[in-house]
Amino acid sequence: MIKRLVAVTFVVFLLSMGAAAVSAQEWEDLGSREVKDRSEQDTWHLQTKGEFHKIKIAVEHRPVKFYRLRVTYGNGERQEFKIRSLIKAGGETRALDLRGKDRHIRKVDIWYEAATVRRGARSQVTLYGLK
């Protein structure tokens, strides 16, 4: 009985350690941009931020319609994502997996527009990276 209790306790301990490691992953804020009420393209320059495995975009204030996102790595290679979604205020895109071994990002280009009916209404998008 005691051996079983010790074994169960050990398993629970191992599972909780794994959960703590996963929750310890923190998304790093790579900068924000204001989105106007027309289609536009913005660029985030990230030459000194390090190597990332995933990126995502969060939206604040007003909904934003995303078209595509292009990552340019330090070695000049590019990876393109077709997002084509409307993200509501308070929402975010799915985590986008970055391919390859050299994941030092030089820049990220994003094509989007604010999905508002009023002129002058602004949205904000924030780019996040996970190392």
In this prediction the pTM is: 0.74
Q: Which residues of the chain are modeled with pLDDT < 70?
A: 1-24, 47-49, 102, 117-121
Classified as helix, coil or strand, 4 is helix
The CATH fold of domain 27-130 = Jelly Rolls (2.60.120)
The 10s digit of each residue's pLDDT in 32-67 is: 998 877 778 899 998 666 788 999 999 999 899 999
C-alpha–C-alpha distance, residues 89 and 34, integer Å: 13
C-alpha–C-alpha distance, residues 63 and 113, integer Å: 9
Here the tokens at position 46 are 């990230």
Domain range annotation of the chain: 27-130
C-alpha–C-alpha distance, residues 121 and 113, integer Å: 11
C-alpha–C-alpha distance, residues 10 and 13, integer Å: 5
* Residue that has been written with the tokens 């990552």 in this structure: 71
- Per-residue pLDDT at 117: 65
Here the tokens at position 27 are 């998304």
* Residue that has been written with the tokens 């508002």 in this structure: 116
C-alpha–C-alpha distance, residues 82 and 123, integer Å: 20
